[in-house]
Copies of this chain bind each other. A is one copy, B any other.
Amino acid sequence: MYERKESCLLKQTRWSLVPTCVVVVLITTGVLAQNNLAFAPDKMDTILYGVAYYPEYMPYDRLDKDVELMQKAGITVVRVGESTWSTWERRDGEFQFAWMQRVLDRLHQAGIKAILGTPTYSIPTWLYKEHPEILVTHNGTAPPLGDPYSPTYPPSLTPGNYGPRQNYDFLNPYFRQHAERVIREIVGHFKDHPAVIGYQIDNETAPTSIPTQYTNAAFLERLKQKYKTPETINKIWGLVYWGQLADKWEDLPPRDGILNPGYKLEWENFQHDIVTDYLAWQAKIVNEYKRPDQFITQDFSGGVHTNLDQWAIARNLDIVAENPYFETQKRLDARGIWLSGDLGRSLKHTNYLVTETNAQTIGWDSRTQYPQYPGQLRLVVYTHLAAGANMVEYWHWHSLHYGQETYWKGVLSHDLEPNRTYAEVSRVASELKRIGPELVNLKKDNKVAILFSADSANALSYMPFSDHANYMSILRQMYGALYELNVEPDFVPAGDANLSRYKVLLVPPLYSASDEVLQQISDYVKNGGQAVMALKSGFTDEHSTVRDVILEISRHHT
Interface residues of A (CB under 8 A from B): 56-57, 59, 83-88, 90-91, 119, 121-126, 128-129, 135, 137-141, 145-151, 155, 157-165, 167, 237-248, 250-254, 256-262, 364-367, 399-404, 406-407, 414-416, 463-467, 543-550
For the complex formed, measure the closest distance between the CB of A362 and the CB atoms of chain B, giving whole angstroms.
14
Given contacts A84-B240, A129-B251, A367-B465, contact A546 B158 (CB under 8 A): no
> Given A126-B248, A162-B256, 13 other A-B contacts at CB below 8 A?
A86-B245, A88-B243, A139-B150, A140-B147, A148-B364, A151-B161, A163-B256, A261-B404, A365-B464, A366-B465, A401-B546, A402-B546, A416-B548
A244 in complex: contacting residue of B122, B140, B365, CB < 8 Å: B122
A137 touches B151 (CB 8 A): yes
Q: Known A126-B247, A140-B149, A548-B59; judge A238-B401 contact (CB<8 A).
A: yes
Q: Which residues of B contact A404 (CB under 8 A)?
A: 148, 241-242, 259-261
- Whether B546 pairs with A414 at a CB distance below 8 angstroms is yes
- In the complex the two chains form, is B140's CB within 8 Å of A57's CB? no
CB distance from A166 to the nearest CB of B (A): 9
Q: Is the pair B464, A366 in contact by a Cβ cutoff of 8 Å? A: yes
**A59 CB contacts on chain B under 8 angstroms:** 548
Give Cα A251–Cα B125 distance, bound, in whole angstroms. 6
Residues in B whose Cβ lies below 8 Å from that of A546: 399-402, 406, 414
Given A252-B125, A463-B366, A240–B86 Cβ distance below 8 Å? yes
Residue of B nearest to A417 (CB): B548
6 chain-A/chain-B pairs, Cβ below 8 angstroms: A57-B240, A84-B240, A125-B239, A137-B257, A155-B158, A162-B257
Interface pair A164/B137, CB less than 8 Å apart? no
- Complex CA gap A126/B243 in Å reads 11
Given known pairs A162-B258, A245-B86, A403-B260, the reply for A138 and B149 (CB within 8 Å) is: yes
Q: Which B-chain residue is minimally distant from A160 (CB atoms)?
A: B257
A461 to B465, CA, bound (A): 33
- Of the candidates A160, A239, A244, A467, the one having the most CB atoms from chain B within 10 angstroms of its own CB is A244
Q: Pick the contact of A365: B149, B400, B465 (CB < 8 A).
A: B465
Contact residue among B243, B252, B463 (Cβ-Cβ distance under 8 Å from A87): B243
The distance from the CB of A210 to the nearest CB of chain B, in whole angstroms, is 13
Which residues of chain B have C-beta atoms less than 8 A from A244's C-beta? 86, 122, 124-125, 162-163
Q: How far is the CA of A246 from the CA of B244 in the complex (A)?
A: 44
List chain B residues, Cβ under 8 A from A402.
237-238, 241, 260-262, 543-546
Q: Which 5 A-B pairs have the closest CB atoms?
A: A161-B257, A238-B402, A140-B149, A163-B257, A162-B253
Residue of B nearest to A92 (CB): B247
Residue in chain B with minimal CB distance to A140: B149
Contact residues in B for A84 (Cβ distance below 8 Å):
240-243
The answer to whether A122 and B403 touch (CB under 8 A), given A415-B548, A548-B59, is no
B contact residues around A119 at 8 Å (CB): 243
Tell which of B124, B135, B247, B259 touches A403, judged by Cβ atoms closer than 8 Å. Answer: B259
Decide: A164 and B140 in contact? CB cutoff 8 A: no
Contacts of A258 in B (CB 8 A): 161-163
Assess whether B161 is in contact with A159, with CB atoms less than 8 Å apart.
no
Bound-state CA distance A121–B241 (Å) is 12
Q: Tell me the nearest residue of chain B to A85, going by C-beta.
A: B243
Report how far A157 CA is from B159 CA in the complex, Å. 9
Query: Chain B residue with minimal CB distance to A263?
Result: B163
Please judge, given known A-B contacts A151-B137, A401-B546, whether A241 and B57 are in contact too, CB under 8 Å.
Answer: yes
Q: Separation in Å of the A414 CB from the closest CB of chain B?
A: 5
In the assembled complex, how far is the CB of residue A168 from the closest CB belonging to chain B, in whole angstroms?
12
* Known contacts A124-B244, A243-B86, A367 near B414 by CB under 8 Å: no
A124-B243 contact in complex given A151-B139, A155-B158, C-beta closer than 8 Å: yes
Report the Cα distance A160→B366, complex, angstroms: 35
Q: Which of B145, B367, B547 contacts A146 (CB 8 A)?
A: B367
CA distance A416 to B251 in the complex (A): 32
Instruction: State the Cβ distance, A291 to closest chain B Cβ, in Å.
Output: 26
A512 to chain B, nearest CB (A): 12
A367-B466 contact, Cβ under 8 Å, with A83-B242, A125-B252, A401-B545: yes
Residue of B nearest to A135 (CB): B257
Question: Are A161 and B367 in contact (CB-based, < 8 A)?
Answer: no
A122 contact set on B, CB distance < 8 A: 242-244
Q: Is the CB of A463 within 8 A of B241?
A: no
- Find chain B residues with CB under 8 A from A261 CB: 402-404, 406
Residues of B within 8 A of A463 (CB): 365-366, 406-407
Shortest CB distance A413–B (Å) = 9
Report the minimum CB–CB distance from A368 to chain B (whole Å): 9
Residues of B with C-beta under 8 A to A246: 125
A259 cross-chain contacts in B, Cβ below 8 A: 163-164, 403-404
Q: Find chain B residues with CB under 8 A from A167 CB.
A: 257
